[in-house]
Amino acid sequence: LEVMIISLRAGQSLDQTIRLTASELDAPIGDEFHRVSEEVQLGRPLEEALVAMSARLAAARTVRTFVTSVLVLRQTGGNLIEVLEQIIDTMRQQAQYERKLSAMTAEGRSSARMLAGLPPIFVLLAYMADSNYIGTLVNDPVGRVLLTVAIIMYTAGVVWTRRLTNPKT
């Protein structure tokens, strides 16, 4: 987007700006802009080419925002440079928020990993100390039920803790 801002400030048209952006960016986004540029040169309206790019890159929220902004501004008029600057600013703020969130949850994630490792270690230590402890759980019907319940609760606890400490999922 910064390449586009520079190009637009230099007085180039949006078509020229997209062509320049295609040559400046790496794949896959550069390839997509190149495809838009080629489609426009072959006679497809810019709006249709941009909507098609947005559909191909449906997971990229920034691309959708960019395409929507361009479409609205081409219909209503407005300053595309200012809108692109706002998109860039929003992207930077979002990246900063994600870094901060990751840092804030790092301690919880490492604690969760340590706590998840403790039960298997204690089972191993109990087996090494006296194999009858574990033998009772495996051989006795009540022990098997208790062991099954413990494994289910342990697994649920690990999954739940992961979800709490990893807010992206």
Cis status of the peptide bond prior to 28, with omega within 30 of 0: yes
Contact 165, 104 (CB under 8 A): no
| pTM for this prediction | 0.60
137 touches 147 (CB < 8 A): yes
Confidence bin at 137 (pLDDT 50/70/90): confident
Q: How far apart are CA 32 and CA 21, in angstroms?
A: 10
CB of 24 closer than 8 Å to CB of 3:
yes
Give me the residue label for tokens 């295609």. Answer: 22
Which two tokens mark 152? 């289910």
| 149 pLDDT tier (thresholds 50, 70, 90) | very high
Q: Where are the domains of the chain?
A: 2-78, 104-165
